[in-house]
Amino acid sequence: MQNTARHPANSIRRLIKRDWREWLVFLAFAGPNVALFAIFTYTPLINNLLLSFSDWNMISADKNFVGLQNYVDIINDSQMGKVLLNTVLFTSSSVLLVLLLGLGGGLLLNQKLRGRNAARSILFTPNILSGAAIAIVWIYIFDPRFGLIYTVLKPLGIDSPKWLTDPNWALPAIVIVYVWKYLGYATVIYIAGLQAIPGDLYEAARVDGASAWMRFRHVTLPGLSPVMFFLILTSILSSFQSFDIINVMTKGGPVNATNTLIYRLYELGFINFAIGRAGVIGMVLFVMMFAVTLLQLRYLDRQVSYA
Amino acid sequence: MRAEETLSKALGYSAIVFTVLIIGIPVFWLITGALKTNREIFSPNPQWLPSQVMFDNFTKAWEGAPFGRYYINSFITTILGAACEITMGITTAYALVFVRFPKRDWVFVLLLVALMVPEEVVIVPNYLTIANWHLVNTYAGIVLPGASIAFGTFLLRQYFRSLPPELIDAARVDGAGHMRTMLSIIVPIAAPAVATAGLLSVVAKWNDYLWPLIVTSTADMRTLPIGISWLLDQEGNTEWGVVMAATLFVVVPVVLVFLYAQRFLVSGIAAGAVKG
């Protein structure tokens, strides 16, 4: 028995048999996940590209190939400039505010203070709440005749802006809600980043007589840079995808003042049934998010390699 | 040095107060709004506090839309969706780290590609797929496209890779199969990471908006977030009290879960970002 087991051919055969088992286990464990992605991510991405070259209204049996016509239509679409501008304004202002306010909050809440953990959790709470629910509460807060802001401003003799019906105030209103929801996330990440900076660095800087500003400039900021990078990218991604707040609060209005790429995609696809042009917007969004995610993955890889 | 420290402490405490106010006041407005009468809400001189506590708005909201049904739909789709995600997250991450397979890394790259395709980009084709399968307006239709998991798999894989390999070798030498090794050794050790990923799944499914909005077509299949936005469109500016009460229906379960789990959830998320 022992002799045959040691025979090279036999042991190779056993190894192959064991390998086959391992492969089957692998397929059983990872297969369903990958299969679902094949059906609901990879294939639809290609289908979306094909749809963007076709003229279709979702109901008709004809799906005509129209080449780049939808792309030309989107470029010539008078709304498109406004939509892109809104997307850039919304993303840049909300990301900037979340990053700066979050940094301030993170620095201040990172000290040994009573109630610090409670404050951190309170600040984080909006992040886990339904965007639709938050949007509804804020419509009531912004209500120019009965809302919270009206109630605060009234004793001061100031009129409340007509937030959601005024094209000049609607986008700032959406930014406020977005920042309110995501500020706590940034703060929590900043605090974690601050705690990962070795205390010796601060000690050494103190011994060298560095002022508070210099310690911030030369120890804190460089120490936080990877976390900041992570936050910039995740915030950009989540603001691109911010659909629920806009759909509930303004439906892209008034007069397209809050119409962003993600809302325009929904509007073209599921309200106007212009599937081809919705496909074009989908490809634009994909290319933008693909670029941001690639950057993020490079960051994650770097983190892992020296963790 | 002393003065500097006192100053930063003072600023720290004012940041805490500011934080509590900035989050607390809107929440206060939500809760008191749900308790106020219409006369109090639509008064030309709005008051901060309701004159008396009354729960009429909650009964009106509950009767005004099929909230019992919304709850059932939200619970079913959340539990099914999160269970699929977390199961596949664990098994896929385990397979990627511990099970031998030719070109295993290519499978990992496939998952990374999925991470780069946000659901919004593929909603139109996915709607067509679900429609072809006659699953529009069903639980399966709501759950299936979001049942697979890339980011959670990625995080769990990192965690599994950091475990000492001797643990697994010992179990394998003892003759434990992969299933047993995974369930009785890896998952218990990785419990904090698994719990964080699981809770994030639950919260994401509960709050999911765009896909359930598109794939449901009748009131009896709507989930809570879709239900309240429909209620808003119906009642709108006429019934703020009722709408705020309904909003609390959606928010309270998540807040309860968060109150219970916030300690490790918040630190788990932070660890994920800092350690990658």
- Can you read off the two tokens belonging to residue A133? 């629910």
So what's the pLDDT on residue B275? 55
**Which range has the worst mean pLDDT, A55-64, A68-77, B82-91?**
A55-64
Which of A119, A146, A278 lies at the smallest CB-CB distance from B41? A146
State the average pLDDT for chain B: 88
Average pLDDT over residues A119-133: 91
So what's the pLDDT on residue A305? 39
Distance from CA of B152 to the nearest CA of A (A): 12
Determine the Cα–Cα distance for residues A67 and A60; give it in Å rounded to an integer.
Answer: 19
Whether A111 sits inside 8 A of B25 (CB atoms) is no
Return the H-helix or E-strand segment holding A54: strand A54-55
B86: Cβ–Cβ under 8 A, 6 or more apart, which residues?
B149, B152, B194, B197, B198, B201
Q: Convert the pLDDT of each residue in A236-272 to its tens digit.
A: 988 988 899 999 999 998 989 999 999 999 999 889 9
Q: Is B83 on the interface with A (CB under 8 A)?
A: no
Whether B88 sits inside 8 A of A33 (CB atoms) is yes
**Which range has the worst mean pLDDT, A31-35, B98-102, B241-245, B248-252?**
B98-102
A27: Cβ–Cβ under 8 A, 6 or more apart, which residues?
B101
Contact (Cβ atoms closer than 8 angstroms) between residue A147 and residue A249: no
Q: For A65, phi and psi rounded to 5 degrees?
A: -75, 125
Residue A225 has pLDDT above 80, yes or no: yes
Average pLDDT over residues A212-234: 87
Average pLDDT over residues B149-161: 89
Q: For chain B, which domains are there?
A: 2-54 (no CATH), 66-275 (1.10.3720.10)
Q: Convert the pLDDT of each residue in B83-122 to its tens digit.
A: 999 999 999 999 999 888 888 889 998 888 887 787 888 9
User: pTM for the whole thing?
Assistant: 0.88
Q: Convert the pLDDT of each residue in A142-196 to its tens digit.
A: 998 888 898 888 888 888 888 999 999 999 999 999 999 999 999 989 998 898 8
| Chains A–B, number of C-beta pairs less than 8 Å apart | 288
Chain B positions in Cβ-Cβ contact with residue A191 (cut-off 8 Å): 270
B179: Cβ–Cβ under 8 A, 6 or more apart, which residues?
none
Q: Is A48 on the interface with B (CB under 8 A)?
A: yes
Name the residue of chain B whose CA is nearest to A293's CA.
B116
Q: Convert the pLDDT of each residue in B190-226 to its tens digit.
A: 888 898 889 889 999 999 999 999 999 999 999 999 9
- Can you read off the two tokens belonging to residue A166? 């005024």
So what's the pLDDT on residue A289? 84
- From the list A243, A255, A115, the residue with the least C-alpha distance to A177 is A243
State whether residue A65 is helix, strand or coil. strand
Percent of chain A with pLDDT over 90: 42
ipTM of the complex: 0.88
